[in-house]
Amino acid sequence: MKRVFVLVVLVTAFLAGPRVADAQSLMPVPRIGVLRFAGGSGENAEFMGSIRQGLRELGYVEGKNIAIEWRFAEGRRDRAATFAGELVRLRVALIVTSGTPAAEAARSATRSIPIVLASVADAVGAGFVASLAHPGGNITGLSLNFPETAGKQLEWLRQMLPGIARAAFLASTRDPAARLFVDETRRAGEQLGIRIQVLTVGGAEDFDGAFEAMRREHAGALIIQPIFIDQIQRLAELAMRHRLPTASFTREFAEAGTLMAYGPDQRELWRRAAIYVDKILKGAKPRDLPVAEPTKYELVINLKTAKALGLTIPQSVLGRADHVIQ
């Protein structure tokens, strides 16, 4: 009788075991949203790889123990608003945003779902957080201080172009952070004795007119707001046609043909954004997580472009470059 009882117990355990395992495998995994203002999905492989790597380092693998809803607004504020609403209706655990308009769209869509800023120009200046140390509300993440970086770019340009007296800044009507860029660039220009010509455009259809205005004002260089990342190739071609040394904030611009790029390492920022994702999924509140700033910057010089423009880059600048494109 005892043997029969033991056999029944073993058979029951055997049959129940797989069911328990199956039930565990069917448990829902955390689902997060990623809303990027610029680009389509095919143009974002590097940033997607960076956040996946950051999550993987923390034990998350997309499709196994975390799900990611990717949304790309392709530079359109209406699409950003639509996608932010979609993510809220999907009840994602949190939303990671890239680009000030995307962060604005997410904030307008929800005041309860946590929002992680992965790439915005200035979190405090744009009003997303009360302060870096005490964000308050449902938003935290990384603040890039891009506007301040514009001043540093002017310094690099002056080292490469010692006689520069005028520079243009291409700003976007689509980005509420444009004012921060313009103010900081003008301030830096005053300190360096460089007159800043601000040209604000809505999109690629305005580029030709903007470059013609630069020509009329005899601009000696151009700084491009990073929101124009979708139009890198077009802008690099126009700058070369007008023989205008050009700078921007991410290495993609220099790789596309601008003279230089200087700014935070975007890949590092997305890996760090994953840390915020992990903490929030484990129960932390955004208001209690201080906003971080970049710790790694990179200077990229395109020597091929310099040669085409007839420029000789000082060795003092080349020696400081993190990457030199031959």
pLDDT digits (tens, 9 = 90+) for 164-175: 999 999 999 988
pLDDT digits (tens, 9 = 90+) for 22-71: 444 455 899 999 999 987 555 566 778 899 999 999 999 999 999 999 99
Question: Does residue 120 have a pLDDT over 90?
Answer: no
**Token pair listed for 17:** 């075991």
Alpha carbon distance 45, 230 (integer Å): 14
pTM, two decimal places: 0.83
Choose the CATH number for 146-264+298-325 among 3.30.930.10, 3.40.50.300, 3.40.50.2300, 3.40.50.620.
3.40.50.2300
Average pLDDT of the residues in 194-211: 95
Alpha carbon distance 154, 85 (integer Å): 39
pLDDT at 324: 96
Domain boundaries, the chain: 31-144+265-295, 146-264+298-325
Alpha carbon distance 323, 82 (integer Å): 38
pLDDT at 267: 87
- In contact, 55 and 103? CB cutoff 8 Å: no
Question: Does residue 3 have a pLDDT over 60?
Answer: no
Average pLDDT of the residues in 278-303: 96
Q: Considering the chain, what percentage of its residues have pLDDT values greater than 90?
A: 71
Helices 178-192, 146-160: crossing angle, 10 deg rounding: 40
CATH number of 31-144+265-295: 3.40.50.2300
